[in-house]
Amino acid sequence: MMTIRATFLTISVFVHGYVRSSTPRLFILVLLMVIPVVIGLTSPVYEMSAVFPKQFLLPILTASAIVLLVNVAVFPEFGSTYLGLTTIQTLQKTLEVQKDASQLFLTYRNCATSDTSGNSARKKPSLKDLTEAKGELRKKVTECKGALIECSFELAFSVLAPWELKPIASKGIKKLVANTLSLVGVCESKYALLGDGGATGNQGVGKKKHNEKKRSAEGANIGQVRPRKEIESGDQQLLRYLLERVEAPLSDLQTTIDRCVDVINTCVAYTFDVSTLPSLKQGKGTPRCPKGILVQELDVHIDWLENAIEEFSRKSTEALEGAAIQETNNPEMIDGEIDVMPRDEIFLISSFMLNLRQAASHTLDMLKHSRKLVELHKDRKEARRIWFPMIKLRKWLFSGTKDPESLPAAKRDAYLREGGDPDDDELTSRETLRGRKDQKRKKGVRERVADFLEWASGSDDVLYAFKLTLGVMLVTWPAFVSGWQMWFYHNRGLWVGLIFILVFENAVGPTIWIFFLRAVGTLIGSIWGYAAYEARNGNEYVIAIMILVGMIPSYYVQLGTRYTKAAMICTISMCVVAVSTHLQTVPGSSQENFTKRAVTMLIGGAAATLVQMVILPAKARVRLKESLASAIVQITKMETCIAYGVDDTRNVVSTPRLFRKFERAAKKAEAALTSAEVFLGFTKQEPRLKGSFDTQEVVYKEIIFVLRQIVDRMENLLQMRKAYGSAVLEQYNSLVYGYRRNVAASITIMLFACHEALTTKLPLPHFLPSARLAHLRMVIRIRQILLEEDEQQERGELSERLSISAGARRRALRLKFLSWNASAAALEECIEYVEELVDLLKMLVGSNEFRSGLLHGPTCKEYVEKMRQQRIGTGREGLEGDKKTLSSMAASSFVGKLAKMRGKEEDKSAEIDIPNPLQRIHSRRAVAKMGRQRDTAVEGVQEEDR
Per the CB < 8 A criterion, the answer to whether 186 and 355 are in contact is yes
> For position 942, what pLDDT does the model report?
53
Please count the helices (runs of H) and the strands (runs of E) in the chain: 34, 2
Per the CB < 8 A criterion, the answer to whether 130 and 152 are in contact is no
> How high does pLDDT run on average in the chain?
77
Give the pLDDT confidence of 123-142 residue by residue, as tens digits: 677 888 888 888 889 888 88
Burial group, residue 552, by CB count within 10 angstroms (0-12, 13-18, 19+): exposed
DSSP type of residue 220: H
DSSP type of residue 70: I
Give the pLDDT confidence of 473-504 residue by residue, as tens digits: 999 998 888 888 888 888 888 889 999 999 99
> For position 507, what pLDDT does the model report?
82
For 427, phi then psi, to 5°, come to -110, 5
Percent of the chain with pLDDT over 70: 74
Most trustworthy range by pLDDT among 32-41, 53-62, 207-216, 403-412: 32-41
Other beta carbons within 10 angstroms of residue 281's beta carbon come to: 9
Closest CA to 164 of 267, 278, 68, 73: 267
> For position 605, what pLDDT does the model report?
92
Instruction: Tell me: pLDDT of 814 over 80.
Output: no
Instruction: Tell me: pLDDT of 606 over 90.
Output: yes
Q: How far is CA 611 from the centre of its chain?
A: 30
> For position 324, what pLDDT does the model report?
56
How far, in Å, CA of 842 to CA of 848, rounded?
10
In angstroms, the Cα distances linking 752 to 246, 624, 757, 764, 843 are 41, 18, 9, 10, 17
How far, in Å, CA of 631 to CA of 680, rounded?
15
The residue-averaged pLDDT of 791-800 equals 55
Per the CB < 8 A criterion, the answer to whether 185 and 406 are in contact is no
How far, in Å, CA of 476 to CA of 468, rounded?
12
How far, in Å, CA of 283 to CA of 913, rounded?
62
Residue type, 10: T
What are the boundaries of each domain within the chain?
A: 79-202+237-280+289-393, 620-845, 860-945
How far, in Å, CA of 350 to CA of 313, rounded?
11
How far, in Å, CA of 186 to CA of 101, rounded?
9
The residue-averaged pLDDT of 154-161 equals 83
> For position 588, what pLDDT does the model report?
77
Closest CA to 167 of 310, 281, 306, 271: 271
Per the CB < 8 A criterion, the answer to whether 633 and 419 are in contact is yes
400 or 143, higher pLDDT: 143
Question: What would the DSSP string read from start to end of 493-528?
Answer: HHHHHHHHHHH--SSHHHHHHHHHHHHHHHHHHHHH
Closest CA to 579 of 619, 628, 625, 529: 529
Give the model's confidence band at 77: pLDDT under 50 very low, under 70 low, under 90 confident, else very high: confident
Give the model's confidence band at 146: pLDDT under 50 very low, under 70 low, under 90 confident, else very high: confident
> For position 639, what pLDDT does the model report?
92
> For position 824, what pLDDT does the model report?
85
Residues in the chain: 946
158, containing H or E segment: strand 156-158
For 157, phi then psi, to 5°, come to -120, 90
Closest CA to 413 of 20, 759, 657, 27: 759
How far, in Å, CA of 764 to CA of 844, rounded?
10
In angstroms, the Cα distances linking 851 to 791, 839, 887 are 53, 17, 20
3-state DSSP assignment of residue 847: strand
Give the model's confidence band at 398: pLDDT under 50 very low, under 70 low, under 90 confident, else very high: low
How far, in Å, CA of 939 to CA of 300, rounded?
88
Give the pLDDT confidence of 514-555 residue by residue, as tens digits: 899 999 999 999 999 999 998 888 888 999 999 999 999 999
DSSP type of residue 678: H
Instruction: Tell me: pLDDT of 820 over 90.
Output: no
Per the CB < 8 A criterion, the answer to whether 265 and 277 are in contact is yes
Closest CA to 83 of 269, 362, 280: 269
> For position 732, what pLDDT does the model report?
81
Give the model's confidence band at 635: pLDDT under 50 very low, under 70 low, under 90 confident, else very high: very high
Give the pLDDT confidence of 900-932 residue by residue, as tens digits: 333 333 333 333 333 343 333 334 444 445 555
How far, in Å, CA of 197 to CA of 643, rounded?
37
Burial group, residue 833, by CB count within 10 angstroms (0-12, 13-18, 19+): buried
> For position 546, what pLDDT does the model report?
92
- Encode burial over 485-503: b for 16+ CB neighbours within 10 A, e otherwise: beebbebbbbbbbbbbbbb
Closest CA to 803 of 90, 221, 326, 133: 326
225 or 848, higher pLDDT: 848
624 or 458, higher pLDDT: 624
Per the CB < 8 A criterion, the answer to whether 43 and 494 are in contact is yes
DSSP type of residue 902: -
Give the model's confidence band at 225: pLDDT under 50 very low, under 70 low, under 90 confident, else very high: low
The residue-averaged pLDDT of 307-322 equals 82
Q: How far is CA 462 from the centre of its chain?
A: 27
Find the range with the poorest average confidence among 32-41, 173-182, 260-269, 417-426. Answer: 417-426
Residues whose CB falls within 8 Å of the CB of residue 671, separated by 6 or more in sequence, listed in order = none
890 or 809, higher pLDDT: 809
470 or 191, higher pLDDT: 470
How far, in Å, CA of 797 to CA of 914, rounded?
66
How far, in Å, CA of 713 to CA of 633, rounded?
16
C-alpha triplet 127, 133, 136: angle, nearest 5°: 165
The residue-averaged pLDDT of 326-342 equals 53
Please give the model's pTM, rounded to 2 decimal places.
0.77
The residue-averaged pLDDT of 663-689 equals 88
Instruction: Tell me: pLDDT of 812 over 80.
Output: no
3-state DSSP assignment of residue 897: strand
How far, in Å, CA of 898 to CA of 219, rounded?
11
How far, in Å, CA of 838 to CA of 915, rounded?
15
Give the model's confidence band at 286: pLDDT under 50 very low, under 70 low, under 90 confident, else very high: low
How far, in Å, CA of 654 to CA of 762, rounded?
38
Per the CB < 8 A criterion, the answer to whether 183 and 352 are in contact is yes
Give the pLDDT confidence of 860-887 residue by residue, as tens digits: 666 677 777 777 654 444 444 444 433 3
The residue-averaged pLDDT of 391-406 equals 62
DSSP type of residue 412: T
Positions of E strands within 330-400? 385-387
> For position 294, what pLDDT does the model report?
84
Q: How do the residues of the chain divide into helix, strand and coil, expressed in percent and rounded to 5?
A: 75, 0, 25
CATH hierarchy code of domain 620-845 = 1.20.58
Residues whose CB falls within 8 Å of the CB of residue 115, separated by 6 or more in sequence, listed in order = 99, 103, 122
Residues whose CB falls within 8 Å of the CB of residue 206, separated by 6 or more in sequence, listed in order = 128, 131, 212
Give the model's confidence band at 939: pLDDT under 50 very low, under 70 low, under 90 confident, else very high: low
For 376, phi then psi, to 5°, come to -65, -40
> For position 743, what pLDDT does the model report?
92
Alpha helices in 561-614 (DSSP H): 564-583, 590-614
In angstroms, the Cα distances linking 319 to 244, 306, 331, 822 are 9, 20, 20, 17
C-alpha triplet 894, 891, 908: angle, nearest 5°: 130
> For position 204, what pLDDT does the model report?
39
> For position 257, what pLDDT does the model report?
92
Instruction: Tell me: pLDDT of 219 over 60.
Output: no
> For position 260, what pLDDT does the model report?
92
Residues whose CB falls within 8 Å of the CB of residue 520, separated by 6 or more in sequence, listed in order = 566
For 581, phi then psi, to 5°, come to -70, -40
Burial group, residue 684, by CB count within 10 angstroms (0-12, 13-18, 19+): middle
Closest CA to 369 of 179, 87, 80, 165: 165
Per the CB < 8 A criterion, the answer to whether 433 and 569 are in contact is no
Closest CA to 703 of 577, 845, 902: 845
Per the CB < 8 A criterion, the answer to whether 721 and 816 are in contact is no
Per the CB < 8 A criterion, the answer to whether 817 and 354 are in contact is no
How far, in Å, CA of 280 to CA of 873, rounded?
61
How far, in Å, CA of 854 to CA of 860, rounded?
9
Find the range with the poorest average confidence among 119-123, 623-627, 757-761. Answer: 119-123
Per the CB < 8 A criterion, the answer to whether 503 and 515 are in contact is yes
Find the range with the poorest average confidence among 255-269, 424-438, 536-550. Answer: 424-438
> For position 46, what pLDDT does the model report?
64
